[in-house]
């Protein structure tokens, strides 16, 4: 356990940041699953709406360094290609 006040505070901050980062990752995973389901159901309007939300979530996560910016760009690009071919 941390011995100094600053180390205890750093530990508390790490716990909060870890929880926030996990929430951001889970949101991206949730939206990806929703898009997959909408693609299977061939619901174009729902896919478009979810894709916009996913892009926004990925951009925010990349900006906060939760995921690497290139990973966000790669995932968005691959998903956009799948959406375009599905239309």
Confidence of residue 86 (pLDDT cuts 50, 70, 90): confident
Mean pLDDT, range 60-85, rounded to an integer: 94
Summarize pLDDT for 11-45 with one digit per residue, the tens.
Answer: 999 999 999 999 999 999 999 999 999 999 988 88
CA dist 54 to 30, 58, 60, Å? 9, 6, 10
Domains and CATH numbers, the chain: 5-86 (1.20.58.110)
| Terminal CA-CA length for the chain | 56
């Amino acid at each position: 356990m941390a011995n100094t006040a600053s180390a205890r505070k750093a530990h508390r901050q790490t716990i909060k940041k870890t929880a926030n980062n996990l929430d951001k990752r889970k949101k991206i995973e949730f939206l990806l699953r929703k898009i997959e389901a909408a693609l299977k159901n061939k619901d174009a309007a729902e896919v478009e709406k979810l894709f916009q939300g996913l892009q926004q979530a990925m951009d925010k996560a990349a900006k906060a360094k939760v995921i690497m910016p290139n990973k966000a760009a790669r995932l968005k690009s691959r998903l956009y290609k799948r959406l375009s071919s599905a239309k």
